[in-house]
Amino acid sequence: MTELRPSLIQKSSLAICLRGFSASEMEKASQLLSARGHRVVRSLAAAQCVIAGPDADNSLLERSRAQGLEVTPWDAVLEEFHDAELLGQFSVAAEVPLVEPLVLPLIRSVGDARYLLDNALPGLDACGEDDRKFIPPAARFAGLCFDQAFVETLHAVHTGTLHAMPVALEGGTAASKTTAVLFLAYLLGQPVVRLNLNGQTDAGELVGRFIPSDHGWKFQEGALPIAMRRGHWLLLDEMNLAEPQVLERLNCAIESPPTLVLSEGHATVFGPCGDVEVSENFRMLATLNPAEYSGRNVLSPAFRNRWLIWHQAHAPDEAAILAMLRTLVIGEQPVVYWRGKSYQADSVIPIYPQLQELTDVHSTLARLAMFHSTVAKAAGASGTTPGLARHRRERDSFTRRNLIATLQLCAANARYNSSGNLQTSLSDALQQIYINRYLDTADRKAIQSHLRAVDLT
């Protein structure tokens, strides 16, 4: 059984879902938790943790795992509250029939082999000095949070690259699509070339073009033929911002086996029986936002079908936001679940350890995650009417970047402020990152009301 840590259950503002209680016991439990400052919610999706009553069954743990939630028995909660009198009012079973799973390392070594979840990682390939500069550096992933959605995206990238299948990651902004590709490349010591596509991208940027030289004109290969020659991963960021006719030029490179004819140059043929053998390490990967986002083009069914691994990367929910904050401030990684097993990445050195001095830091981080999630919803998802900036043509978006900027500014303010008061620094950072974003008085008041609702003013 996974227990709620005393440092959490004694805090306020937790969203708790009760399961396995009779109607009368549910009412008593709700009253007790509310008196301690917690909120009792009906849905697992809205909860930060689950309390299991005497009637809970074994399926509770699996359903909670899918949401990334902790589960604890009710009798343990009462013992933590030291409410012996209340303990006698509940028909609590001696032990809820749930078994705590063994938590495995997310990335682990077994003999000479390394594993990511349940998939073996290929061995590191030595690459030339010229290619080594394309391997993402470790420093880029300091403070990276391995939450459930990110791990699922990482697994999709690993599956595609392991089996030489083109991988497309679709999802909203700041869903860590690009980070998943770059982190796996770092893990494998794999050179990766990242191209940011846009409406002005032409086929010459991808396959090559003639350029002037000292001896007239010469053909300069683009990123695609270079990657095919040298075994790079080619990552096309914001793929559906490019014009469809430009993307169709890639069709032969995302076939199996990949081929390419440089008709723009000297008709060099890449692939079986051609002039250039395609490296076995070459992979094609892409990230894109849904077509509903402004400026995105609709991809043809034939082109989409060639991306054999097409993964929907989920935007972070409140639980994922809180997990990220705990990683950045405390260095703690969340437990994730895959095929009935529990996994957890190694703890990291926190990026903002000075914020641990915030008053009631665990509760503060939970309230900060709740505030951000509320404001992000108020800004409006694609296809919905926003509650903020509803009269502006541009739709606003609040992502993990805004929260990271808040932490960064809070830490900096405390460092340079003569008082060094972290609570004041946090309030100033929230003002700068969230409230000052808006000119309209109604919008500023709306965000301030969200801050008051979670006691962050």
- Read off the CATH number of the domain in which 256 is found: 3.40.50.300
116 falls within a domain: yes
62 falls within a domain: yes
Look up the domain containing 392 and give its range: 352-453
Query: Is residue 31 located within the same domain as residue 156?
Result: no
Per-residue pLDDT for 251 more than 90? yes
The better pLDDT of the pair 297, 295 is held by 297
- The reported pLDDT for the residue numbered 92 is 43
| Number of domains within the chain | 3
The C-alpha R_g of the chain, in whole angstroms, comes to 26
Output the average pLDDT for the chain.
Answer: 86
12 falls within a domain: yes
Highest mean pLDDT: which of 56-60, 101-105, 199-203?
A: 199-203
Query: Is residue 165 located within the same domain as residue 197?
Result: yes
Highest mean pLDDT: which of 213-222, 246-255, 413-422?
A: 246-255
The pLDDT confidence band at residue 141, using thresholds 50, 70 and 90, is very high
- The reported pLDDT for the residue numbered 5 is 45
326 falls within a domain: no
Query: Is residue 120 located within the same domain as residue 153?
Result: yes
270 falls within a domain: yes
Q: Residue 41 belongs to a domain with what CATH number?
A: 3.40.50.10190
Query: Is residue 285 located within the same domain as residue 404?
Result: no
Distance CA 177, CA 167 (A): 11
- The reported pLDDT for the residue numbered 387 is 75
Compute φ and ψ for 104, nearest 5 degrees.
Answer: -95, 150
For residue range 151-209, list pLDDT tens digits in order. 999 999 999 999 999 999 999 888 999 999 999 999 999 999 999 999 999 999 999 99
Query: Is residue 199 located within the same domain as residue 230?
Result: yes
Supply the pTM of this predicted model: 0.77
Compute φ and ψ for 301, nearest 5 degrees.
Answer: -55, -40
Least confident range from 119-123, 284-288, 308-312, 371-375: namely 119-123
For residue range 24-53, list pLDDT tens digits in order. 788 888 888 877 778 888 877 778 888 888
Query: Is residue 195 located within the same domain as residue 231?
Result: yes
187 falls within a domain: yes
Query: Is residue 409 located within the same domain as residue 286?
Result: no
Which string of DSSP letters, residue by residue, matches 285-351? EEEE--TTSTTPPPPPHHHHHH-SEEEEEPPP-HHHHHHHHHHHHT-PPPEEEETTEEEEPPP---S
Distance CA 164, CA 158 (A): 10
